[in-house]
Chains A and B, each alone.
Chain A
Amino acid sequence: MAVASKYLPGAKKAHEAQHEEHDLRQYLMFDPKPRGEMNQMVMESMMTTSWKFWVVFAILSVLTATCFFYAWGYMIAEGLGVSGVMRPSYWGIFLVNTVFWIGISHAGTFISAILRVFKAEFRRPFTRAAELMTTFGLIQAGASIFMHLGRVWLAYWLFPIPNARQLWPNFHSPLMWDLLAITTYVLGSTMYLFLPLIPDLAMARDRSTGWRKTFFKILALGFRGTEGEWTHLHTAMNIFAFAIIPVMFSVHTIVSWDFAMAMRPGWSSTVFGPYFVVGALHSGMGAVAIVLAIMRATMKHMDYFIRAEHFDALGKLMLIVSMAWAYFFFNDYIVQWYGGDKWTDTLLHWHESGPMSWMFFQMLIFNIAVPWLILWNKKWREIPWLLASVGLLINVGMWYERYIIIPVSLTINRMPFTWKLYYPQIEIFLTIGTFAMFLLFYLIASRLIPLIPVWEVQEGQMAHSVRKVGKAVVPSVSEIDLTME
């Protein structure tokens, strides 16, 4: 005979409270470990390398050496003629890559600065992983610009110094704005990466021997964690968090003005600034999802620091940014379509029915349909490989978007006798080279610096607790975070 079991009223509440407390343990902030143990976990993840690591390292090194350095050297020796850029598409994949990598770089600032300002606690374990993407992404963006220059040894002509005839560069040109904005962003984001890294470098210094000890000792600068050092560090991080946000917005807006300032069909658009910024965040968020999934799958102990809650939060951000991107895309499209300009109409038809229309429609599918169909579901958002796959497709879609804006749109101009489709040549190898170098840098960094900001995680865990309100267990966050005082 089946007997229906029932909790006594009090016992049921207590049971539920225990469950609630147990549920909270799935969140990093409510599942603290002793600091020494967390340090050990991060150090082990940094020091442990398997043969698979070295195989990937070797493949990426070979790709970087051949597709980046050899191919670029060959292009420098032979001239830009070995690339596919020619009339009317003088701006080819090099600038597609420049815009793409600058876009990737936006994720670091967004996660580290904007989420820090708004105290989004889920950011804590992966701020550094995102900030590293900013620095390494900007290196690839810079390299792509220099590739585009062709005669790269004359790059100093852009520097703010007078030439032999005492003529200074023209600071009214969008290309000079680019140089200054990207320089500011590279330096700013690298400093912003380094400042919160200092306490973790000191932690690594205390736990390493040999050459690593010397390496960490030099980089830790003698940090001990005195009250003064923390105060100076926090004040600086606070200033950086607020100041780097407008710089981030300015960089991609200025990049968009490289196009929008030209009176070309498809380019001259007042909405290009925010459209580019949102596009940058779109690809950047997707790239962070890929990096986190790889970190979690391949590095020791990362499943403690990077959890389903982080993929869930990131997935929500990706969905919101995807909606914003769709809004700006349609905003740009409808105004140009409604304008009725003959050449713009021709260009829009070229996008939709020309030889590159497959790219146009895949862009829409990857950037809008895929995230909207998958990321609405919490359970799906929490699956690392699925979120990383969505991130990968978004990045392919965003690369296509830049390709459509630059070489595909340059095909159509007001002189039909010049219309000619762009076929990349050596650019394909150089593109592979920039991706290989980005991954190689990341791989090396994962073994040289702590990818998890342990002190920030501990600070967050100190601020979080569970408390009982009546019979219920509720999460509670204290305002002990010095960073935003």
Chain B
Amino acid sequence: MSEHITILALYSDINPAADGIDKLHELGISDDEITVISGVPITEAMLGRPHQSTNVSRLALGGAVVGFLFGAFLNFGTPNLYTVYVGGQSVFPFPPGMIILFEMTMLFALLSTFLGVFLDSYFPNYSPLEYVPEISDGKIGVFFKCLQSDEKKFMEALSKLGAESVSTTEARQL
């Protein structure tokens, strides 16, 4: 029985990388089995890849709601816990309350956005990963899993389409 291996195709440019991914689709590799890594952001449309979903916006919104409620507690709740009446002044004045509501809403929205990147990207991750340092030099890496018996077929196909190098790879410490 043949085992699965990971192949890395390295490209210098976007066009051959997009062609290579098309070829992988033709050869039966689905998008789920392909990982693209790059040193600069490349849109999915450029490589013909499916849209990447992210929860960061939802988490930011959730954080904003929590922050608003916390701000409401500070402004309208805490004076009620120990009410101090100051002659002629409202215990729950709204105009200063707006400032507290705004600041707390923004603070929690920003914190949850930041946290969202960590959660969605599984940061921090110090375990061995499939990577080559050339990526940060501007190369585009396409990883995919295939059967060991198909290794030669994929390597030849991708080399013909302009891959700078095609080789098997394994997870390693970054």
Partner-contacting stretch, out of B132-140, B144-152, B156-164? B132-140
Residues of A near B41 (CB, < 8 A) are 230, 233-234, 455, 459, 482-483
Which B106-134 residues have a C-beta within 8 angstroms of A? 106-107, 109-111, 113-114, 116-118, 120-127, 129-131, 133
Assuming the contacts A35-B137, A202-B136, asked whether A180 and B103 have C-beta atoms less than 8 A apart, the reply is yes
Contact of B126 among A176, A184, A217 (CB under 8 A): A217
CB 8 Å contact bits of A26-39 with B (1 = contact, 0 = none): 00000000111001
Residues of B near A77 (CB, < 8 A) are none
Which B48-80 residues have a C-beta within 8 angstroms of A? 49, 52-54, 56-57, 60, 74-75, 78-79
Are A232 and B117 in contact, CB atoms less than 8 angstroms apart? yes
A226 within 8 A of B: yes
In the complex, residue of chain A having the shortest beta-carbon distance to the beta carbon of B57: A235
Are A188 and B107 in contact, CB atoms less than 8 angstroms apart? yes
Q: How far is the CB of A105 from chain B (nearest CB, A)?
A: 16
Are B138 and A184 in contact, CB atoms less than 8 angstroms apart? no
Are A232 and B120 in contact, CB atoms less than 8 angstroms apart? yes
Residues of B near A224 (CB, < 8 A) are 37, 129-131, 135, 174
Are B116 and A177 in contact, CB atoms less than 8 angstroms apart? no
A297 within 8 A of B: no
Which A199-220 residues have a C-beta within 8 angstroms of B? 199, 202-203, 205-207, 217-218, 220
Contact of B121 among A206, A232, A254 (CB under 8 A): A232
Contact of A222 among B96, B116, B123, B135 (CB under 8 A): B123
Which of B104, B113, B123 gathers the greatest number of chain A CB atoms within 10 Å? B113
Residues of B near A229 (CB, < 8 A) are 121
Are B123 and A167 in contact, CB atoms less than 8 angstroms apart? no
Are B117 and A195 in contact, CB atoms less than 8 angstroms apart? yes
Q: How far is the CB of B165 from chain A (nearest CB, A)?
A: 15
Q: Which residues of A contact B (CB under 8 A)?
A: 34-36, 39, 160, 162, 165-169, 171-172, 176-177, 180-181, 183-184, 187-188, 191-192, 194-195, 199, 202-203, 205-207, 217-218, 220-236, 239-240, 243-244, 246-247, 250, 254, 455, 458-459, 462, 480, 482-483, 485
What is the interface of chain B mostly: helix, strand, loop, or mixed? helix
Residues of B near A231 (CB, < 8 A) are 52-54
Band of interface residues on B: 35 or more
CA distance A183 to B108 in the complex (A): 11
B84 within 8 A of A: yes
Are A222 and B129 in contact, CB atoms less than 8 angstroms apart? yes
Assuming the contacts A181-B103, A233-B117, asked whether A168 and B126 have C-beta atoms less than 8 A apart, the reply is no
Q: How far is the CB of A359 from chain B (nearest CB, A)?
A: 32
Are A228 and B39 in contact, CB atoms less than 8 angstroms apart? no
Q: How far is the CB of A233 from chain B (nearest CB, A)?
A: 6
Are A36 and B52 in contact, CB atoms less than 8 angstroms apart? no
Contact of A36 among B37, B126, B137 (CB under 8 A): B137
Q: Which residues of B contact A (CB under 8 A)?
A: 35-44, 46, 49, 52-54, 56-57, 60, 74-75, 78-79, 81-82, 84, 93, 96-97, 99-100, 102-104, 106-107, 109-111, 113-114, 116-118, 120-127, 129-131, 133, 135-138, 174
In the complex, residue of chain B having the shortest beta-carbon distance to the beta carbon of A229: B121
CA distance A332 to B76 in the complex (A): 34
In the complex, residue of chain A having the shortest beta-carbon distance to the beta carbon of B111: A187
Are A222 and B74 in contact, CB atoms less than 8 angstroms apart? no
Are A177 and B96 in contact, CB atoms less than 8 angstroms apart? yes
Residues of A near B127 (CB, < 8 A) are 222
Assuming the contacts A203-B39, A221-B123, A239-B57, asked whether A171 and B78 have C-beta atoms less than 8 A apart, the reply is yes
CA distance A285 to B116 in the complex (A): 32
Q: How far is the CB of A240 from chain B (nearest CB, A)?
A: 6
Are B106 and A206 in contact, CB atoms less than 8 angstroms apart? no
Q: How far is the CB of A432 from chain B (nearest CB, A)?
A: 32
Residues of A near B113 (CB, < 8 A) are 191, 236, 239-240, 243
CA distance A250 to B111 in the complex (A): 18
Residues of B near A246 (CB, < 8 A) are 102, 106
List 22 interface pairs A-B (beta carbons < 8 Å), by A numbering: A36-B138, A39-B137, A160-B78, A169-B78, A184-B104, A187-B110, A187-B111, A202-B174, A207-B136, A218-B124, A221-B121, A222-B123, A223-B121, A225-B39, A227-B36, A233-B117, A235-B54, A236-B117, A250-B102, A250-B103, A254-B99, A462-B40
Residues of B near A177 (CB, < 8 A) are 96, 99-100, 103
